[in-house]
C-alpha cells in the first residue's frame, strides 16, 4: 500500500432500507493506524456505516474502498483476514470453553482440512496471556461475568490478527470499571500491533480520551470530522445532540470532556 493511500475510503456512500434513508452521500477516509470514534444521536447511521465498511451491507450509491479496491471485490475469507468486527453484545452466553471460543478467531487462516497456516495455538495462548484469560481458558463462557465475556470477545478478534477492527458500541453493557479496562486493552493492543480501529461509541468522554479522530453523524449525513479537540466544543455538541452542554478539561490529559446542564425549572 502506498504511503498516502487510505486504508478505508468512503466515497459518496448512501444507503436506504425501503423508504428509510439511513446514510446520505457520506465521504470519509481512514489512514492505517488511526483510531476513529463514530458518534451521533440514535438513528444517525453509525451502525449502517460500520456495516458498509465491514462489507456486510452494500451501498446503494457511492463506493467503499479498502486499500484502493472496492470492498465488494474481496472474497469473504480474504476480507476476514483483514477486518474483524465486535458487536456491542460481544458473545452469546454459551457453554463453550474460553479457549475454544478464542480459537474460532483463527478460522480465516485454516485450510479445508482445518489446519492453521500459522502457529495458531501459540497465537491463541499469547492472546489469552495478554488479556489475563489463561486461568479462565477451560471455563465455559456462560460461567463468566459480562465484563469477562467481553474480554473473551476481544481475545477472539485479537486471535484473528486483523489490520482493521470495527467496534459497534462495545462498552454498552459494561459498568464503568470494565468500560475503562476494555478501552485500555484496545489502546495497548493498537500500540503493539499498529492496527486501525473504528469504534461506534455512545460515550463521548471515552471517545475523546482514546480516539485520535472523531466522525460525527446526524440524520445519516456527516456533521463533522476531526480531532476530539475540534469536535468536542459546546457549539458542536449542542447542534449534534440538541442538548445544553458544558465542556471541561480532563485533569490528567487536558482533553475535552462533556457535562450536561439541566434545564431551569
Q: How many domains does the chain have?
A: 1
Residue 186: give the domain boundaries: 8-260
Rg of the chain over Cα atoms, rounded to whole angstroms, equals: 19
Domain annotation covers residue 27: yes
CATH number of the domain enclosing 119: 3.40.50.300
The predicted structure's pLDDT at residue 1:
45
Q: Which residues of the chain have pLDDT under 50?
A: 1-2
Domain annotation covers residue 160: yes
Domain annotation covers residue 93: yes
- For 147, counting Cβ atoms within 10 Å of its Cβ (0-12 exposed, 13-18 middle, 19+ buried), the class is middle
3-class secondary structure, 44:
coil
Domain annotation covers residue 146: yes
The predicted structure's pLDDT at residue 77:
85
Domain annotation covers residue 107: yes
The b-or-e profile of 79-90 (16+ CB within 10 A means b, else e) is bbbbbbbbbbbb
Domain annotation covers residue 218: yes
Domain annotation covers residue 89: yes
Domain annotation covers residue 244: yes
pTM of the full structure:
0.90
Residue 113: CB atoms within 10 Å: 5
Cβ distance 197 to 190 under 8 Å?
yes
The predicted structure's pLDDT at residue 112:
59
Amino acid at each position: 500500500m502506498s504511503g498516502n493511500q487510505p486504508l478505508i475510503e468512503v466515497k459518496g456512500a448512501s444507503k436506504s432500507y425501503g423508504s428509510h434513508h439511513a446514510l446520505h452521500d457520506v465521504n470519509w477516509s481512514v489512514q492505517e493506524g488511526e483510531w476513529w470514534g463514530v458518534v451521533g444521536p440514535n438513528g444517525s447511521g453509525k451502525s449502517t456505516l460500520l456495516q458498509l465498511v465491514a462489507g456486510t451491507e452494500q451501498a446503494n450509491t457511492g463506493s467503499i474502498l479498502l486499500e484502493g479496491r472496492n470492498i465488494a471485490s474481496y472474497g469473504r475469507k480474504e476480507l476476514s483476514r483483514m477486518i474483524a468486527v465486535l458487536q456491542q453484545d460481544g458473545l452469546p452466553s454459551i457453554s463453550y470453553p474460553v479457549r475454544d471460543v478464542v480459537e474460532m478467531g483463527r478460522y480465516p487462516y485454516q485450510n479445508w482440512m482445518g489446519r492453521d497456516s500459522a502457529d495458531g495455538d501459540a497465537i491463541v495462548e499469547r492472546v489469552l496471556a495478554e488479556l489475563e484469560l489463561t486461568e479462565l481458558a477451560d471455563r465455559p463462557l456462560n460461567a463468566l461475568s459480562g465484563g469477562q465475556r467481553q474480554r473473551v470477545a476481544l481475545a477472539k478478534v485479537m486471535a484473528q490478527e486483523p489490520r482493521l477492527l470495527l467496534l459497534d458500541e462495545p462498552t454498552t453493557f459494561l459498568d464503568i470499571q470494565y468500560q475503562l479496562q476494555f478501552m485500555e486493552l484496545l489502546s495497548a493492543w493498537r500500540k503493539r500491533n499498529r492496527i486501525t480501529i473504528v469504534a461506534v461509541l455512545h460515550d463521548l468522554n471515552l471517545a475523546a480520551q482514546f480516539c485520535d479522530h472523531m466522525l460525527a453523524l446526524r440524520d445519516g449525513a456527516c456533521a463533522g470530522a476531526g480531532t476530539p479537540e475540534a469536535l468536542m466544543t459546546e457549539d458542536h455538541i449542542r447542534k449534534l445532540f440538541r442538548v445544553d452542554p458544558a465542556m471541561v478539561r480532563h485533569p490528567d490529559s487536558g482533553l475535552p470532556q462533556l457535562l450536561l446542564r439541566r434545564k431551569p425549572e
